[in-house]
Structure 1
């Protein structure tokens, strides 16, 4: 049984004491408008505890707020997938031209290449439309605040 007379012996139960415990406490009161602003900033910070958020704000540590726009992410993913499909079309295009040149007579190859050229022009127009839509989307939805 540990006695209070012997300071070298410590109780072995309970939590270990912190080397620098936070013992100073401050209280503030906010009105409804201020509390609304506080809660909004707290939610944007992504921190789990209000006390850590307040300490961060007081001592000037930088808080980074990251907003994820689901629509922008979906658009980006689909555009990336479309770009990979476009690359595959280019690869298939090169293979098709080589196959046409090697397997058909010059007259037949020219006719097939003419059809391929028409489809390629349609792809170029589609590509330009995609670029225009992407720029429009970036201007409307992804404008960055400096």
Structure 2
């Protein structure tokens, strides 16, 4: 009866703990090369990057082109504008049909349809430019 009751509280022990450590010394040039390789790899910790290098596990390097990022951001902005225009278009049609005579509302709807056609042409042109951009620039990084 002298046994103590221990609770199973706290963290569960790891099955394969990493307890063995190695130390490596670099000069300034080697350290800058290591940092550059680490930044290119995109791996979060330097120790994980060194493990990947030592044991030959492959990693991917992602290149972020600033021009393509800006282009994609602007395309996203256009998409947001189109959604806003679509919502406004629905509201405008409801208002035209509700508060005007049928002849006046049909004339205004014709104008609205004409402007919408121009918007569709612009959107097709944007898609063409995006495909052209993809063919010329983004294929270089793949």
Same fold (TM over 0.5): yes
Residue by residue over 1:80-116, the C-alpha shift from the partner in whole angstroms, topping out at 9 and shown as x without a partner, is 0111011100110011011001111111111111111
Residue number among 71, 91, 116 corresponding to 2:87 in the alignment: 91
Off by >3 Å, runs of 4+ in structure 1:
19-25, 38-48, 50-58
What number of residue pairs does the alignment pair up? 118
Does structure 1 conserve the Cα–Cα contact (< 8 Å) formed by 2:38 and 2:49?
yes
| RCO comparison, higher one (Cα < 8 Å, 6+) | 2
1:102 and 2:98 are equivalent in the alignment = yes
User: Matched residues in 2 for 1:110 and 1:24: separation?
Assistant: 79
TM-score computed with the length of structure 1 as normaliser = 0.64
How far does residue 47 in structure 1 lie from its aligned partner after superposition? 7.0
1:111 maps to what in 2? 107
1:20 maps to what in 2? 20
Stretches of structure 2 lacking an aligned partner (at least 5 in a row) = 1-18, 26-33
Give the aligned CA root-mean-square deviation in angstroms.
Answer: 3.4
Stretches of structure 1 lacking an aligned partner (at least 5 in a row) = 1-18, 26-37
Give the secondary structure class of the aligned counterpart of 1:66. Answer: coil
Does structure 1 conserve the Cα–Cα contact (< 8 Å) formed by 2:63 and 2:141?
no
1:140 and 2:133 are equivalent in the alignment = no
User: Matched residues in 1 for 2:124 and 2:107: separation?
Assistant: 26
